[in-house]
Amino acid sequence: MCVDSNNEIQNMSMKLKKYQDTPVIDDIQKGLMVGEKLDSSTWGGGDYKEEIITGSSSHGYTTVGFPTNFSINRLYEKKYQLVKTAYLQPI
């Protein structure tokens, strides 16, 4: 969380607690993976994002992956020229 004041910390904490206590049911089984080109030799990693989605034990980390009933959208700049507003539509 990026915050500038105690009030923002309190607001963000309350939002997180509310989402935890009363989640938006339609959004529980959705995933959005975004990878953006960072510089000429580094990009935000569709390959690594796929390891998170499918499950992996790589690079010192282990993930079990997303459940198979999840709907997952992928926006990887490696494959497409991303326009920043493209991030907003799946959200």
Residues 34/86, Cβ–Cβ less than 8 Å: no
Phi, psi angles (nearest 5°) of residue 33 = -110, 125
Q: Are 45 and 35 in contact (CB under 8 A)?
A: yes
The two three-digit tokens of residue 25, written as one number:
């049911």
73-88 burial by CB neighbour count: b if 16+ within 10 A, else e? ebbbbeeeebeeeeee
pLDDT in tens, the chain (91 residues): 778 999 999 999 999 999 889 988 777 888 888 877 776 666 666 778 888 899 999 889 999 999 999 999 888 776 556 666 655 665 5
Delimit the domains of the chain by residue range.
28-91
CA-nearest of 42, 78, 77, 66 to 86 is 77
